[in-house]
Structure formats: structure tokens, C-alpha cells
Amino acid sequence: MQKTFTCLICPVGCEITVTATGDTIERIEGHECKRGIPYVTDEFLNPKRILTTTVKADGAQFPVVSVRSDKPLPKNKIFDCMEVLKKTRIKAPITMGQVVVEDILDTGVNIIVTRC
């Protein structure tokens, strides 16, 4: 199968196509430099994203407080993490960087508060 990615390493944004069978990459083409290869390899085999959202905050200045994953999460776990966070509540006082959910869904990633 073939999948095309827009490389984000530099502003050029090469359209790089990966040809693979299952998890075995057979060919990578369309990149103007070497740096595109590890980028699309990661994107193809194990895409990860930082998740940013809000959680309910009781007794705080605003009803919700912004949070983020402290490391990128596997892309296919994002919506499941959102389900967890939609039900998560924290109480004031709230500090920057405080851990809201530790090791969310066994990913080794923590969800932390991003505002004071």
C-alpha cells in the first residue's frame, strides 16, 4: 500500500510517499533531503501527537483549565485519552505543571496543567 505525507521538518514541505507491505517499508520517495526519511518512517509506523485540551476545574477562576500531554501520545490513543479527560476534574488551588492524570492509558505520558 501507499501513503503520502507532508514532511514538516523544514518549510519546503515535501510530499513524501511511503510504499509498504504491512509494517515493512519498501520504498520512500519524494523527499528533497535525507531528513525526510526518519520523519515519514515515524509518521508511518508510530505517529505521535501532543494532546492539548481542557479539564473541569472546581473553585478556580475559570470553569475549565488548559492541560497538555507532557510528551507526544500515540495518535491512535488520542480520542480515548479525550474520553478520560472529559470526565476529569481538578480542584483549586491549581499550579502550573501539576499532574492531572499520571501515565494516561498506560502510555507513560502524563497530562499536566498549562496555566497558573
What proportions of the chain, in percent to the nearest 5, are helix, strand and coil?
Answer: 20, 40, 40
Mask of contacts with another protein, 23-52, x by CB under 8 A? Answer: --------------------------xxxx
Closest approach of Cβ 20 to another protein, in Å? 18
Indicate the length of the chain as a whole number. Answer: 116
Number of residues that bind another protein (CB under 8 A): 33
Minimal distance in Å, beta carbon 75 to another protein?
A: 7
- SS3 track for 48-61: EECCEEEEEEECCC
Decide whether 29 or 64 has the Cβ nearer to another protein.
Answer: 64
Cα–Cα distance measured from residue 96 to residue 112, given in angstroms and rounded to the nearest whole number: 8
Rounded-to-integer distance, Cα 75 and Cα 17, Å? 19
Q: Where on the chain is the footprint of another protein (CB under 8 A)?
A: 5-6, 8, 10-13, 49-56, 61-64, 66-68, 75, 78-79, 82, 86-87, 89, 96, 114-116
